[in-house]
Structure 1
């Protein structure tokens, strides 16, 4: 009986651990998905098991992945549906963790790259200000570098 219980616990723990994707892979695929449909497809597949009970950062990346799928889609109705799903996931993540710099950066990047007719640009100034005011608090050097690089190369200066 103890052996069966141990085996079931081990199986469950392995399944839970395996369900959460590697963040380095997620971030790499995010960066390349802006230019590569295959990366966007891999990112979407990697995050397919993420749901509302997942960590907010993963929910946000899933929202970003939906937006990337919309970018590469052909059917305007499906593109808009994916955009809406992505927007809802990103906003859910921001609502759950409004002080998460990476989530705010992801929303900032998405909003600054979307066409204005989609009307998903109302947080650009807020996120930019928040990121500039709080960037020094992060220990994530890559996030800091990515934000400063993105800001210096964007048309938002």
Structure 2
């Protein structure tokens, strides 16, 4: 029995460590996205760990970002509706996850106004700002960097 518990503990520890490393790699990829190749890499990195809510949110975010490179407006709209509902669903089951809220905030901020996917913008940014201090330093730094990077891109690229 002791050996079983010890083995189970090691397995869980290794799994958590691997997922944390995967998340670090995914964050790095997301932060460096400049085009379709980086988005495809994000999707590829995240598709094998879809049982983790944050990684799943990155996967859906990548799928939504790829819509910029699609030509069929009907297919784009269908995928947009499906993936945004899936991200909202992740948030509904993980309301306090600041990173998933950050991803939704970025998506809503970048979504065309006529799609009306912007109802949680204010709530998400307020939640992020008021709860960022609760996160570890690495995640705080990552989120702050993304928000600065994102706001600089938005101000230099009027849509």
Q: TM-score range by the shorter chain?
A: 0.7 to 0.9
Aligned to 1:91: 88
Question: How many residues get paired?
Answer: 142
Q: Secondary structure at the match of 1:128?
A: helix
Structure 1 contact 63–88 (Cα < 8 Å) conserved: no
Structure 2 contact 91–101 (Cα < 8 Å) conserved: yes
Q: CA deviation at 1:94?
A: 0.6
Deviations 1:91-122 (A, max 9, x none): 12111211111111111111001101111100
1:59 counterpart = 2:56: yes
CA distance in 2, matches of 1:29, 1:73: 21
Q: 1:38 to 1:90 in 2, by over 3 A?
A: same
CA RMSD of aligned residues (A): 2.9
Q: Secondary structure at the match of 1:99?
A: coil
TM-score scaled to structure 2, two decimals? 0.74
Structure 1 contact 56–96 (Cα < 8 Å) conserved: no
Q: Secondary structure at the match of 2:118?
A: coil
Q: Secondary structure at the match of 1:109?
A: helix
> How do 1:129-148 residues align onto structure 2 when only pairs under 5 Å count?
129-139=126-136, 140-148=139-147
Deviations 1:26-47 (A, max 9, x none): 12222333x2101111222233
Aligned to 2:113: 116
Q: 1:148 to 1:80 in 2, by over 3 A?
A: closer
Higher helix share: 2
Structure 2 contact 57–90 (Cα < 8 Å) conserved: yes
Aligned to 1:36: 35
CA distance in 1, matches of 2:147, 2:46: 27
Q: Where does the alignment leave 5 or more consecutive residues of structure 2 unmatched?
A: 1-6
CA distance in 2, matches of 1:73, 1:46: 21
User: Following superposition, which runs of at least 4 residues in structure 1 exceed 4 angstroms of deviation?
Assistant: none
Q: Where does the alignment leave 5 or more consecutive residues of structure 1 unmatched?
A: 1-8
